[in-house]
């Protein structure tokens, strides 16, 4: 799943985002409320995790603005504001769940998974298809032409990022950021290695290639044109 975490506490943000990635999810993290609202409305996510006390724009305002804009993505408040009235206010603003700090990550992950099991507002968010390649993001299942393909967690995440951007060229830097959370060049061939492994599983056993290398630019997943 692709998850947006809006949290201004650096330590909590790093702790949560690391745990979500280790669980196999893509996690974008923002610390400013205005930036969070912009991404929540403009980008496609499967789950939102939002703090209530944020710089720029508070969590309640983000939630109300998202819902008013028609964004139906499941959202969870992760906050130190613990009163009953505060919980009610958060849920009435449009949140689907409310978890109070301090918290156990195992409980947060269980709540995220529970929200993800709800019927999605837009089915294509959890079922991705490129030509005869199908990804069930919820079940972590990939098939091509009806043949099931076994992928390692990082390979699955890489394929999901490419599938969500079908037809777009993603640069090496973009993949490092979205799949490995590297905001610098690690000076390794990690992207190329994983692209090669992914191609050997989703393309080589089949007649038509879907994963394309765009010379001196990046990679794109699409049916031949």
Q: Domain span at residue 156? A: 126-221
pLDDT given at position 192:
95
pLDDT given at position 205:
95
Query: Based on the domain organization, do 104 and 186 belong to the same domain?
Result: no
pLDDT given at position 125:
58
**Pick from 116, 151, 183: which residue ends a domain?**
116
Residue 7 lies in a domain: yes
pLDDT given at position 124:
45
Query: Based on the domain organization, do 24 and 101 belong to the same domain?
Result: yes
CATH number, domain at 155? 1.10.10.10
pLDDT given at position 120:
55
Residue 121 lies in a domain: no
Q: Contact 165/149 with Cβ under 8 angstroms?
A: no
CA separation for the pair 202, 26 (Å, rounded): 21
Residue 72 has pLDDT above 90, yes or no: no
Residue 25 lies in a domain: yes
Residue 216 lies in a domain: yes
Residue 180 lies in a domain: yes
- Confidence band of 119 (pLDDT split at 50, 70, 90): low
Q: How many CA atoms lie within 13 A of 35 on its CB side?
A: 12
pLDDT given at position 224:
84
Query: Based on the domain organization, do 37 and 69 belong to the same domain?
Result: yes
- The contacts found for 65-68 with CB under 8 angstroms, 24 or more apart, are 65/37, 65/41, 66/37, 66/40, 66/41, 66/94, 67/93, 67/94
* pLDDT tens by residue, 159-213: 999 999 999 999 998 899 888 877 777 888 999 999 999 999 999 999 999 999 9
Query: Based on the domain organization, do 101 and 130 belong to the same domain?
Result: no
Residue with tokens 């156990």: 104
Mean pLDDT, residues 20-42 taken together: 91
* pLDDT tens by residue, 53-69: 999 899 999 999 998 88
**Pick from 96, 116, 136: which residue ends a domain?**
116
Query: Based on the domain organization, do 159 and 102 belong to the same domain?
Result: no
Query: Based on the domain organization, do 85 and 132 belong to the same domain?
Result: no
pLDDT given at position 55:
93
**Pick from 116, 148, 174: which residue ends a domain?**
116
Q: Considering its fold, how many domains does the chain have in total?
A: 2
Residue 123 has pLDDT above 50, yes or no: no
Residue 141 has pLDDT above 60, yes or no: yes
């Amino acid at each position: 799943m692709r998850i947006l975490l809006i949290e201004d506490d650096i330590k909590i943000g790093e702790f949560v985002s690391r745990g979500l990635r280790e669980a196999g999810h893509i996690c974008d993290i923002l610390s400013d409320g205005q930036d969070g609202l912009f991404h929540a409305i403009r980008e496609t996510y499967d789950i939102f995790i939002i703090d209530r006390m944020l710089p720029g724009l508070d969590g309640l305002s983000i939630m109300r603005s998202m819902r008013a804009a028609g964004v139906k993505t499941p959202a969870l408040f992760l906050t130190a504001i613990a009163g009953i009235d505060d919980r009610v206010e958060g849920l009435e603003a449009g949140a689907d769940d409310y978890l109070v700090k301090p918290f156990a990550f195992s409980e947060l992950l269980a709540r995220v998974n529970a929200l993800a099991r709800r019927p999605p507002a837009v089915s294509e968010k959890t079922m991705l298809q490129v030509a005869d390649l199908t990804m069930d993001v919820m079940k972590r299942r990939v098939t091509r032409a009806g043949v099931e393909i076994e992928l390692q967690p990082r390979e699955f995440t890489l394929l999901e990022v490419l599938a969500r951007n079908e037809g777009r060229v993603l640069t090496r830097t973009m993949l490092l950021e979205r799949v490995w959370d590297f905001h610098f060049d690690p000076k390794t061939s990690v992207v190329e290695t994983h692209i090669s492994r992914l191609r050997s599983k989703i393309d080589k056993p089949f007649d038509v290639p879907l994963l394309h290398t765009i010379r001196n630019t990046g990679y794109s997943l699409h049916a031949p044109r």
